[in-house]
C-alpha cells in the first residue's frame, strides 16, 4: 500500500496558485472569446462564476498537483508530465467527443490542462 508523502507542500500550494492564475489568463484574455464562442448552449447568456466553481477548480489543481508530485517520486518530473498529459489529454478528447464539443474547444481545454501539468512538473524540478 502506497502512502502519500509530499516532500514540500508549500511548493504544491504555490504551484496550484500559479496554475489557477494562469487558467484565469488562459480562459480570459488569451482564449476567452474563442472559448465562449464555442459554448453553443450558452450563447447570449452571461454566466457569473460561482464561489463553488472556484473552490472545485482549486481542489482540482491541488489533487492534480498531488498526483504529479507522487508520480514524480517514482520517476522523473518530465515522465510524470508526459504520462499524465497523455492520460488526461485522451480523457478530455473522449469526453469532448461524447459531449459533442468542437475540436477547437477540446484543444483549448487540453492546452490549458497541459500547461497546468507543466507548471507542476517545473515546480517538482526546482
What are 14's three cell numbers?
504555490
The answer to whether residue 43 is domain-embedded is no
Tell me which residue range forms the domain holding 92: 9-38+51-125
Vertex 100 angle, CA 94 and 105, to 5°: 80
* pLDDT value at 10 more than 90: no
**pLDDT band (50, 70, 90) for residue 28:** very high
What are 33's three cell numbers?
472569446
* pLDDT value at 59 more than 90: no
Q: How many of the other CB atoms lie within 10 Å of CB of 68? A: 25
The answer to whether residue 65 is domain-embedded is yes
The answer to whether residue 113 is domain-embedded is yes
Specify the pLDDT at position 29. 94
* pLDDT value at 41 more than 50: yes
The answer to whether residue 46 is domain-embedded is no
The answer to whether residue 82 is domain-embedded is yes
Amino acid at each position: 500500500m502506497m502512502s502519500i508523502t509530499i516532500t514540500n507542500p508549500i511548493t504544491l500550494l504555490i504551484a496550484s496558485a500559479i496554475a489557477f492564475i494562469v487558467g484565469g489568463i488562459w480562459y480570459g484574455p488569451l482564449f476567452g472569446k474563442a472559448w465562449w464562442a464555442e459554448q453553443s448552449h450558452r450563447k447570449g447568456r452571461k454566466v457569473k462564476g460561482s464561489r463553488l466553481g472556484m473552490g472545485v477548480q482549486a481542489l482540482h489543481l491541488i489533487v492534480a498537483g498531488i498526483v504529479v508530485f507522487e508520480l514524480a517520486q517514482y520517476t522523473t518530473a518530465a515522465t510524470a508530465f508526459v504520462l499524465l498529459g497523455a492520460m488526461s489529454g485522451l480523457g478530455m478528447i473522449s469526453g469532448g467527443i461524447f459531449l459533442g464539443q468542437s475540436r477547437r474547444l477540446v484543444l483549448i481545454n487540453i492546452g490549458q490542462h497541459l500547461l497546468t501539468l507543466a507548471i507542476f512538473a517545473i515546480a517538482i524540478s526546482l
